[in-house]
Chain A
Amino acid sequence: MPSPDQKRAIVTRQVSKTFGGVKAVKGVDLSIAVGERRALIGPNGAGKSTLFNLITGDVPVDGGEIHVLGRDVTRFSVERRARLGLGRTYQISQLFLNLSVEQNLFLSSAAATGIGLNLLSRWRDRSEDRAWTRDVAEQVGLTEHLFRPVAELAHGLQRQLELGMALAMRPRLIMLDEPAAGLSPAERQTLVRLIRAMAPDITLILIEHDMDIVMELAQRITVLHRGSVVTEGTPDEIRRDPMVQRIYLGEMHV
């Protein structure tokens, strides 16, 4: 039985959510250790995205409890959960399209350091945030695009910036929602390399349809089906599990 101790990044207990009579998530128990790399997989409609949104606070739970880094956040807003160090990316990019890459990353960085109440200070004078912004840009391979408006970036670079946005806020745990969606094989490799290079103390939770990426990144995999956890295990265990093959891998023709 999972306990909400300090070593756990995420603990959910009997979390459920119903949308218009459809039980999207049914009594899910999760326990994810600090620093763990965990993937959530399952066929479409399995409840992965809903579970994700319940953890981030985008969608309120109908029942159950959610603990993040030892705090009960069940009733916390998205903003309060973020301030605990919960970073996320979006399946469909939520970037500031008319701002530059630097301004995007700066806003993420300053979210953690605080924008301050001085309305007459200049953001350009915040040298520590800007130095960190440049570090993150380098980390996600965007150094040469720092001053370009995001709207001008190619899709692959925008996905890299999605990751950068989650990293720049100095998260303690990061949730990636289909980070490789719409990427070419070469771009996928770049992204996997960038995610692997993340600091080991950052907990990672990943939803991804690309099984190669899941197997490469995850230490443990949770399989969801029709809103419930079917099984959980290491990539090898999951790959060998006949039930998983039947309900999921079979459908995906892997």
Chain B
Amino acid sequence: MTGTLLQGSSLRRLRLVVAIAVVVALVTLPAYGGQYTLTTFIRTFYFGFLALSVGLLLGQGGMISLTQTAFFGISGYVVGLLGAERGFPFPLPELAGLALVAVVALLFALVVMRTHGIVFLMLTLALGQICWSFARQNTSLLHGWAGIPDIQPPSIFGVDLTQNANFYWMSLALFSLGLLFLWRLVQSPFGLALNGIRESPRRMSALGYPVFWLRVAVFVIAAIYAGVGGILAAWSSGIVTPTALQLSRMIWILLIVILGGSQYFWGPVVGAVIAVWLDVIVSQLTPRYNTVIGIVFVVVILLAPNGILGVWERITAKRRALRQVPAAPPDSNQ
């Protein structure tokens, strides 16, 4: 019995040590990582926000939305329009961007949240495509395919975010905050109610929950996550184009959430880290990197329908079971 207890606590201690090591490694990254590594991590953070957005809806609420890249694009465009083109100072364009994201998300939610399943999927696809088409075809305001260039990250409290290291730290801090808020949200009664809607919306109605409004609320929250990612992306890349809203990117994000494990809190994060780095590494090796990455996705999803974290859980559960079986008999004798 003392054996298993020790093992249990040592596992926990190991996990704590790994967590601290990861945090230290991430915080000190600018000291030893190159510019390219920093930029790739920044990409991970802004696509990570998009993945959290998709993961919140899918993992917690059981909804596959194909609109999320639209919110990523909307906030980016507002930052470009108001910041780069009209010279409004930080944080006005950014707040306006998030406000517009919230308003559009609310309007969209009022349309789609009475539907479920395939109808929901098709409606969110249509809404996402409307936003994308508008960005692509509007030349007077959004400049069509050319997009809006010359977007600069601001200085916040005297910290110059055009410095790559500063930008990295800011993104890391923002992403950590986003994770922390989400961590609390999924443990709140609201988070549990979302799980209830995922499992049985009919029962939730019969219990008296305002299912429609709960779904509307989580859609707006998820949209804001996508919007924050969009602002970081616009700042980091310096340009916003219709590519930000493209369906292929939406599918990519959906795949990385499933790759990581949509029902796990860390699933979207794990998926985003792996997918972004896979992109970087494979594209250095072969120009056909999209084919390779596609094959990786197919293989992982075939072999591990619950994603990488699902595999991890299966392995650790097996190990725990193996450890407990021989430990049981001496226990019962004592």
Contacts and interface: CB of A to CB of B under 8 A. Distances in A.
Interface string A101-126: 00100111011100111111111101
B205 A106 contact: no
B185 to A, nearest CB: 5
A228 interface: no
B252 interface: no
B190 A115 contact: yes
A181 interface: no
B205 A79 contact: yes
Given A118-B188, A122-B188, A99 B206 contact: no
Nearest to B263: A98
Given A79-B210, A79-B211, A108-B207, A96 B195 contact: yes
A130 B195 CA distance: 18
B150 interface: no
A107 B188 contact: no
A77 B212 CA distance: 12
Nearest to A104: B196
Given A107-B207, A112-B208, A126 B200 contact: no
A153 to B, nearest CB: 14
A169 B209 CA distance: 11
A172 interface: no
B206 A82 contact: yes
Contact of B189 (A87, A97, A115): A115
Given A79-B205, A112-B208, A119 B200 contact: no
A95 B208 CA distance: 15
A123 B189 contact: yes
A42 to B, nearest CB: 23
B254 to A, nearest CB: 20
A132 to B, nearest CB: 14
Interface string B274-292: 0000000000000000000
A23 to B, nearest CB: 25
B207 A169 contact: yes
Counting chain A residues whose Cβ lies within 8 A of the other chain, the interface size class is 35 or more
Contacts of B203: 90, 94-96, 165
Nearest to B187: A122
Contacts of B195: 96, 98-99, 103
Contacts of B142: none
A56 B208 CA distance: 11
Counting chain B residues whose Cβ lies within 8 A of the other chain, the interface size class is 20 to 34
A120 B200 contact: no
Contact of A119 (B185, B204, B207, B211): B185
A83 B206 CA distance: 9
A253 B194 CA distance: 46
B12 interface: no
A88 interface: yes
Contacts of A58: 206
A78 B199 contact: no
A94 B200 contact: yes
B193 interface: yes
B208 A82 contact: yes
A82 B185 CA distance: 26
Nearest to B200: A94
Contact of A121 (B189, B193, B202, B205): B189
A149 B319 CA distance: 21
B190 A119 contact: yes
A119 B182 CA distance: 9
Interface in B156-198: 181, 184-185, 187-193, 195-196
Contacts of B193: 107, 110, 115
Interface string A166-185: 00010000000000000000
Contacts of A111: 207-209
Contacts of B199: 95-99
Interface of A: 56, 58, 77-80, 82-83, 87-88, 90, 94-99, 103, 106-108, 110-112, 115-124, 126, 165, 169
The 4 closest A-B pairs by CB, nearest first: A82-B208, A96-B199, A115-B189, A111-B207
18 contacts: A77-B205, A82-B208, A87-B206, A94-B203, A95-B200, A97-B199, A107-B207, A108-B207, A110-B193, A115-B188, A115-B209, A116-B189, A120-B181, A120-B185, A120-B188, A122-B187, A122-B188, A123-B191
Given A94-B206, A110-B193, A115-B189, 18 more contacts: A58-B206, A78-B205, A79-B209, A79-B211, A82-B207, A88-B206, A90-B203, A96-B199, A98-B263, A99-B196, A99-B199, A103-B192, A107-B196, A111-B208, A123-B188, A123-B189, A123-B192, A124-B187
